[in-house]
Amino acid sequence: MKRVKCPKCDNYITFDETIYQPGEQLVFQCTECNRQFGIRLGTSKLKATRKEEVIDEEAHREELGSIIVVENVFHYKQALPLVMGDNIFGRYVRGTSINQPIETVDPSVDTKHCIIRVQRNKQGKLQYILRDAPSNTGTFYMNSILRDQDRVRLEEGDIITIGATTLILRTATEKEESD
């Protein structure tokens, strides 16, 4: 048995995957919100970025934080764990050299759209700094467009818009030191 999560209300739907062939497209209707959504059986080429089962946001937060890609008309919710250094976000296309590909067919998201740099300050605390890649349609931080030379320090829950896609920063949970 396999579980899939509704992209709208996060309700789980269980089904028997053994009666279907790999690569087959399935359509589900959520019993909670009546939302229809589809999945393709088999393994994704982007295993690290999209999972049909549980996306554990808290596990990513314990490391360096994560970016939550919010559902829009082109794709479903995704959680992308951040790495130290430059996190280059953009639309996944085979052969691109980005480390944070977003699974989407949104034509307004460039293949290299924006960059979030994760680094530690002098006190050892994590910092998140956003800049445009530069992109053709621009990167918006809290509804303000960034110029090519702009650098913005991000905080928990900040909203970034690239094309028609919304990204939300989930910062790492700092562990308190005990004596």
pLDDT at residue 72, rounded to an integer:
64
Name the pLDDT band for 73 (thresholds 50, 70, 90): low
pLDDT beyond 70 at 62: no
CA distance 129 to 127: 6
How does pLDDT run across 127-149, given as a tens digit for each residue? 999 999 989 999 999 989 999 89
Q: What would the mean pLDDT of 56-68 be, rounded to a whole number? A: 64
The set of residues, in sequence order, having a beta carbon less than 8 Å from that of 100 and lying 6+ positions away, is: 49, 67, 80, 82, 87, 88, 89, 90
Buried b (16+ CB within 10 A) or exposed e, 98-133: bbbbbbbebebbbbbbbbbbbeeeeeeeeebebbbb
**Nearest C-alpha neighbor of 150 from the set 164, 168, 135, 163:** 135
pLDDT at residue 113, rounded to an integer:
94
Map out the domains of the chain with their CATH numbers: 2-40 (no CATH), 57-170 (2.60.200.20)
pLDDT beyond 90 at 28: no
Q: Report helix, strand or coil for 121.
A: coil
Q: Which of 2-6, 83-87, 109-113, 167-171 has the least mean pLDDT?
A: 2-6
pLDDT at residue 38, rounded to an integer:
81
User: Which pTM value belongs to this model?
Assistant: 0.63
pLDDT averaged over the chain? 81
Q: Is pLDDT larger for residue 159 or for residue 104?
A: 159
- The string of DSSP codes covering 140-177 is EETTEEPPTT--EEE-TT-EEEETTEEEEEE---PPPP
**Cis-peptide, bond into residue 101, ω within 30° of zero:** no
CA distance 28 to 48: 23
Question: Do 35 and 29 touch, CB atoms closer than 8 A?
Answer: yes
